């Protein structure tokens, strides 16, 4: 399967936007990336969700198994603060947060960003739910979502001011790995009851889809 990994224009409110070229320039052209391995490995409905313990934007550790003691959990994996589609999705989820919580659910968002980057993103978007840092992508890897950014795409990202090493806390190969955007609804027993895994980075699970999945769990 081919996925369009876009060298998309940075979010206008992101620091990367200060040096970005025109949004309709050649760097906006998607680069075809073979994501078949990542897509095939992604966890799906009926799988047990791997437990994790990750720091939130303030450095406090959040553990999935602890959250599940209180009810279902929505876990969404996103690429980073530099991605406008991610910002839109997380803001939409913030608007729907009351409806999610009315079902007894908790919501957490996970990216490979360092806590400092997550903090600035959470503040800018006024997010009232936990934004967790999976630096190095170990948790994303457990969920089968990680793929490496190839050299050509990395050059395109850098050309529009997107430096993943800065966002993700280190100039290493791990800093240039991204998760396929995905949202999971996990029931209190730790089983995935709904999985929205979309290789096309422009497509995300809508709040309505997530809410409908939660209503089936409860």
The residue from 67, 81, 86, 214 that is catalytic is 86
Q: Is 8 a catalytic residue?
A: no
CA 4, 9, 15, 19 torsion: positive or negative? positive
Q: How far is CA 180 from the centre of its chain?
A: 8
Tokens of 145: 């979502």
Label each residue of 4-27 as H, E or C.
EECCCCCCCCCHHHHHCCCCCCHH
- Per DSSP (E only), the strands in 78-189 are 106-111, 130-133, 146-148, 177-179, 182-186
Q: How many other CB atoms are there within 10 angstroms of residue 111's CB atom?
A: 28
Cα angle 159, 164, 165 (rounded to 5 degrees) comes to 115
Helices (runs of H) and strands (runs of E) counted in the chain: 9, 11
For residues 170 and 34, give the distance between their C-alpha atoms in angstroms, rounded to a whole number: 25
- Tell me whether strands 73-77 and 106-111 are parallel, antiparallel or unpaired: parallel
Residues serving a catalytic function are 86
């Amino acid at each position: 399967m081919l996925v369009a990994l876009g060298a998309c224009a940075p979010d206008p409110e992101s620091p990367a936007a200060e040096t970005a070229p025109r949004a309709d320039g050649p760097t906006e052209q998607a680069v075809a990336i073979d994501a078949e391995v990542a897509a095939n490995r992604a966890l799906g409905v009926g799988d047990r969700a791997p437990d994790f313990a990750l720091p939130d934007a303030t450095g406090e550790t959040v553990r999935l198994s602890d959250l599940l003691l209180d009810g279902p959990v929505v876990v969404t994996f996103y690429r980073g603060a530099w991605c406008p589609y991610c910002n839109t999705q997380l803001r939409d989820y913030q608007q729907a947060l009351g409806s999610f919580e009315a079902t007894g659910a908790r919501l957490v968002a996970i990216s490979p960003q360092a806590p400092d980057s997550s903090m600035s993103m959470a503040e800018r978007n006024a997010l009232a739910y936990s934004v967790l840092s999976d630096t190095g992508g170990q948790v994303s890897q457990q969920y089968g979502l990680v793929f490496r950014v190839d050299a050509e795409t990395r050059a395109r990202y850098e050309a529009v001011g997107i430096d993943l090493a800065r966002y993700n806390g280190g100039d290493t190969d791990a800093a240039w790995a991204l998760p396929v955007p995905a949202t999971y609804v996990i029931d209190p027993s730790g089983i995935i009851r709904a999985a929205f895994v979309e290789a096309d980075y422009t497509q995300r699970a809508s709040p309505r889809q997530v809410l409908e999945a939660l209503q089936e769990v409860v």
